[in-house]
């Protein structure tokens, strides 16, 4: 089991995970480029100070480097753990923000009105990436930067239809196994009323 699944199961509890949707590779690339430039700036600053000033700032720049590395790890986990989790009970949108903050939104299968995707700009079309939107009543939940958003949308709809169909079949089977529940209730009420009328007479 991957780290992502362990963290999600630890947060959500006893659920049967059908599918997990994460961010596309470009989300990681943008983060890597950002921290790469940070490291380059730090290295050039360190070389410049060493060449022109008689000051040993190795400890200072080493500490800054460790801080940037720690920020990189947190940013990586933020992207890696962000997920749309499809379960037997519904959809959970799990989002991390920083080292300690996290937010989980639950949407039941019955309450979902529509699922659709959007692609904004030429890059989204060329690299087949985009956003997923899930509508529930007046609320729209957005999960950005997904690889192959059209396929993901179809996957969500397919799992939703399968689960709702299965639930409907189970309810129908349960009704067929207990067809006399309503009749029994009516008969019992009829007997109670008859006894009550008899006592009054």
* Residues 127 and 178 occupy one common structural domain: yes
Q: What is the pLDDT of residue 12?
A: 85
- Nearest 5 degrees, angle CA 149-CA 100-CA 68? 85
Write out pLDDT tens, residues 34-50. 999 989 998 888 888 88
Strand intervals (E) in the chain: 17-21, 83-87, 90-97, 101-108, 114-118, 129-136, 139-147
Query: Based on the domain organization, do 158 and 94 belong to the same domain?
Result: yes
Q: What's the mean per-residue pLDDT of the chain?
A: 86
Each residue's pLDDT tens digit, 127-153:
999 999 999 988 999 999 999 999 999
Q: What is the mean pLDDT of residues 78-106?
A: 89
**Quick check: 70 pLDDT over 70?**
yes
What totals of helices (H) and strands (E) does the chain contain, helices first? 6, 7
What is the domain count for the chain?
2
In angstroms, the CA 36 to CA 41 distance is 9
0.85 surpassed by pTM? no
Same domain, 88 and 146: yes
Which of 80, 71, 86, 72 minimizes the C-alpha distance to 25?
Answer: 80
Domain containing 55 equals: 24-81
Q: Which residue has the tokens 């983060």?
A: 31
Phi first, then psi, for residue 174 (nearest 5°) are -65, -40
| Domain final residue, candidates 81, 109, 125 | 81
Same structural domain for residues 138 and 100?
yes
Same domain, 128 and 178: yes
Pair 13, 29 in one domain: no
């Amino acid at each position: 089991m991957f780290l992502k699944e362990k963290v999600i199961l630890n947060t959500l509890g006893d659920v049967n995970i059908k599918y997990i949707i994460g961010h596309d590779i470009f989300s990681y690339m943008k983060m890597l480029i950002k921290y790469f430039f940070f490291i380059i700036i730090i290295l050039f600053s360190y070389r410049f100070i060493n060449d022109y000033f008689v000051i040993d700032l190795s400890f200072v720049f080493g500490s800054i480097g460790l801080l940037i590395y720690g920020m990189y790890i947190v940013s990586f986990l933020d992207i890696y753990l962000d997920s749309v989790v499809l379960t037997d009970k519904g959809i959970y949108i799990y989002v991390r923000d920083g080292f300690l903050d996290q937010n989980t939104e639950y949407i039941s299968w019955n309450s979902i009105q529509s699922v659709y995707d959007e692609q904004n700009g030429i890059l989204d079309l060329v690299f087949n990436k985009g956003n997923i939107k899930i509508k529930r009543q007046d609320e729209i939940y957005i999960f950005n930067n997904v690889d192959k958003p059209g396929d993901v949308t179809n996957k969500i709809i397919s799992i939703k239809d399968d689960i709702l169909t299965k639930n409907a079949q189970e309810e129908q089977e349960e009704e067929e196994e207990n067809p006399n529940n309503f009749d029994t209730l009516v008969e019992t009420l009829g007997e109670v009323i008859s006894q009550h009328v008899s006592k009054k007479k």
